Amino acid sequence: MTPLVSRLSRLWAIMRKPRAAVGSGHRRQAASQERRQKHAKSNSQAKPSACDGLARQPEEVVLQASVSPYHLFRDIAEVTAFRRSLLSWYDQEKRDLPWRRRAEDEVDPDRRAYAVWVSEVMLQQTQVATVINYYTGWMQEVNQLWAGLGYYSRGRRLQEGARKVVEELGGHMPRTAETLQQLLPGVGRYTAGAIASIAFGQATGVVDGNVARVLCRVRAIGADPSSTLVSQRLWGLAQQLVDPARPGDFNQAAMELGATVCTPQRPLCSQCPVQSLCRARQRVEREQLLASRSLSGNPDVEECALNTGQCQLCLPASEPWDQTLGVVNFPRKASRKPPREESSATCVLEQPGALGGAQILLVQRPNSGLLAGLWEFPSVTWEPSEQLQRKALLQELQRWAGPLPATRLRHLGEVVHTFSHIKLTYQVYGLALEGQTPVTTVPAGARWLTQEEFHTAAVSTAMKKVFRVYQGQQPGTCKGSKRSQVSSPCSRKKPCMGQQVLDNFFRPHISTDASNLNSAAQ
């Protein structure tokens, strides 16, 4: 066992420390309720409620920022109605998710916070349906599979944060959003707020993509939510609305509403618990009335007082109201730049006669940038001519494996894989070392993998596509080595669980840079 896996095991041991005697499920529920009440009381005594603070914001400050009060919640009655309606809906309609069960049933605060932390990291830019099985497996056994979730840098930062909790914080998670964000690497504003509100009952709001969409529609905010001004306003609204008595449930309810009802393209407005407070819905009804000419003069429907292009939260003048979109007019996102196109050449180098079965060569990517720290087939930048390409690729292969027969290098086809910001075309080559003495040693940063090791290693989806081309699995490609004992990933029913995955993935020499989560690619 490596020192890193040992540290993760120690963390898991801390998270599994003996609980205080709790008794029946009723006693667990009572303890949970008592905990919530204590947090709500301490929060209310420590400082005035967020909604009161925002409601007392001077009007001149709002106007100086060119933002109309139309886009804000201006009285406590409206805020209370929003909280009550949303939480009532959530209690009836919330999905049964494993991390929610753990957060509700777990008495130990450190274990509860760890469970929330893992779920929030996994859920970043990954759908709930994809995460459920990974989360359940992870929480059952620390040495678990991550490859396949994508955005692998999240895993490295989770490892670094877990190590800090064990080695520097005595196994105790920070208790507030401020200290979570300050002390744990890779924990940003949203993740810190989610952990603090769900695990520790801190009355702090959160804004993710789902919450941003809900708030933009409820307050008719049409500007780009990723802009600094709009983002600040959304965080202010979230803090104003969060229920101090049930902050964790409220934040999850807002996320649930955006994920299941207030969806990006086909919102189910008739099922929305806060539709009576939704300015986007009111705008739709107003436009329908105007279109039917049933209103004359000025319609008795509230609208933004700064509708002359001055309000920075309204729909941009370049993109006015579109009758066909309805509530989907809000928000309007900035046009996304198409991914830049790049090309490279990669080669599957195989030793069919290696001791213990066929082996293939993988090398490790740099510790920062695209797919940082993952393993891949040796690759080089695309060259303008076939001759130059083969020469460059052969030199790269020889750097890792020594002298190789150039005549056996074969072009097999290509693979196109689109990351979040890059469209990468791989020209796929193959080279089988048949009839030669197997290579047994390689420089640091490279290794020969057997069949099982390849499937449990931290390799990207793009590399799995490349390997399928080598194996002749894709239609229209050249056939790979039929003598290879390495099977295609698609021939396996499901990945092996708990087999040295973190040992392979989180190797001790990989740096744990804290680059922006959104820059990672799957």
| Active-site amino acid positions | 120
CA–CA gap between residue 148 and residue 134 (Å, rounded): 9
Q: Which residue has the tokens 């790049």?
A: 342
Helix-strand-coil split of the chain, %, nearest 5: 45, 10, 45
∠ Cα 292 296 299 (to 5°): 90
CA–CA gap between residue 216 and residue 236 (Å, rounded): 12
Q: Which residue has the tokens 């409220």?
A: 250
* Number of CB atoms found within 10 A of residue 441's CB: 8
3-state SS, one letter per residue, for 307-373 = CCCCCCCCCCCCCCCCCCCHHHHCCCCCCCCCCEEEEEEEEEEEECCCCCCCEEEEEECCCCCCCCC
Verify cis geometry, omega within 30 degrees of 0, for the bond prior to 331: yes
Asked whether the CA dihedral 463, 469, 472, 475 is positive or negative, the reply is positive
Both tokens assigned to 168: 């520097």
* Number of CB atoms found within 10 A of residue 8's CB: 22
∠ Cα 90 93 99 (to 5°): 75
Which residue, 505, 342, 488, is CA-closest to 417?
A: 342
Which residue, 166, 144, 169, is CA-closest to 155?
A: 144
Residue 345 near residue 389 (C-beta atoms within 8 A): yes
3-state SS, one letter per residue, for 391-445 = HHHHHHHHHHHCCCCHHHCEEEEEEEEECCCEEEEEEEEEEECCCCCCCCCCCCC
CA–CA gap between residue 182 and residue 458 (Å, rounded): 29
What's phi and psi for 418, nearest 5 deg?
-100, 120
Biggest CA–CA distance in the chain, Å, is 90
